[in-house]
Amino acid sequence: MIAEIEKYIEIQNNIDQILKDSPFKISYIIEKTGIKKPTFFKKMKEKRFTSEELLSIAKVMEPVYRDETHEEILESLKRAEEDIENGRTISHQELMKQARARLEQRKNEGRI
């Protein structure tokens, strides 16, 4: 538990740099979290986001965030292994093509 608390403190102390280094525009994060712009910038400057606000920001910055249990993760890994064994895979080139297309779509939507 100590490690988690220390990580939380580290995030709180470095939130301004974390947000600046993010591939997302601050305006997008503000819009998605619902925190008013002046309040957001004041909290970012003072590094005083609540834990709920930090969670909200994290969910915007990590859209694949899930609340999976240990068993669900293991089941997902098992399905992935079965996909590999049964040839349900794509090449690295195809993966990169799809990733570039998603990136371009996000750029066009103003999300990055």
Q: How far is CA 74 from CA 10, 77, 86, in A?
A: 29, 5, 18
Residue 22 binned pLDDT confidence (cut-offs 50, 70, 90):
confident
Phi/psi at 23 (5° precision): -75, -10
- In the predicted structure, residue 67 carries a pLDDT above the cut 70: no
Burial code (b: 16+ CB inside 10 Å, e: under 16) for 34-48 equals: ebeeeebeebbeeee
Q: What confidence score (pLDDT) does residue 65 get?
A: 47
CB 88 within 8 A of CB 96: no
N-to-C CA span, the chain: 34
Location of structure tokens 């909290």? 43
**Which sign does the torsion angle of CA 54, 60, 64, 68 carry?**
positive
Q: What confidence score (pLDDT) does residue 66 get?
A: 58
Q: How far apart are CA 71 and CA 15, in angstroms?
A: 32
- In the predicted structure, residue 56 carries a pLDDT above the cut 80: yes
- In the predicted structure, residue 63 carries a pLDDT above the cut 70: no
Average pLDDT estimate for 73-80: 86
Closest residue by Cα to residue 107 from 25, 19, 20, 22? 25
Q: What confidence score (pLDDT) does residue 107 get?
A: 86
For residue 37 the two structure tokens come to 């712009």
- In the predicted structure, residue 94 carries a pLDDT above the cut 50: yes
